[in-house]
Chain A
Amino acid sequence: DQQVKQNSPSLSVQEGRISILNCDYTNSMFDYFLWYKKYPAEGPTFLISISSIKDKNEDGRFTVFLNKSAKHLSLHIVPSQPGDSAVYFCAASNYGGSQGNLIFGKGTKLSVKP
Chain B
Amino acid sequence: DTEVTQTPKHLVMGMTNKKSLKCEQHMGHRAMYWYKQKAKKPPELMFVYSYEKLSINESVPSRFSPECPNSSLLNLHLHALQPEDSALYLCASSPGPQGSRYGYTFGSGTRLTVV
Contact = CB atoms under 8 A, between A and B. Distances in A.
Interface in B71-115: 90, 92, 94, 97-109, 111
A43 B4 contact: yes
Interface residues of B, number: 30
A101 B92 CA distance: 11
B42 interface: yes
A100 interface: yes
Nearest to B3: A43
Nearest to B55: A99
A43 B111 CA distance: 11
B106 A99 contact: no
Interface stretch (A12-20, A45-53, A65-73, A74-82): A45-53
B60 to A, nearest CB: 14
A34 B45 CA distance: 16
Given A91-B103, A102-B103, A107 B42 contact: yes
A44 B43 contact: yes
A25 interface: no
28 contacts: A4-B42, A32-B99, A36-B103, A43-B4, A43-B106, A43-B107, A43-B108, A43-B109, A44-B43, A44-B106, A45-B106, A49-B101, A49-B102, A91-B103, A93-B99, A93-B103, A95-B99, A99-B48, A99-B56, A100-B98, A100-B99, A100-B100, A102-B45, A102-B103, A104-B42, A104-B44, A105-B42, A106-B42
B102 A99 contact: no
Interface in A1-59: 4, 9, 32, 34, 36, 41-46, 49, 51
B43 A89 contact: yes
Contacts of B40: 9, 106-107
Nearest to A91: B103
A62 B3 CA distance: 23
Contact of B90 (A43, A93, A106): A43
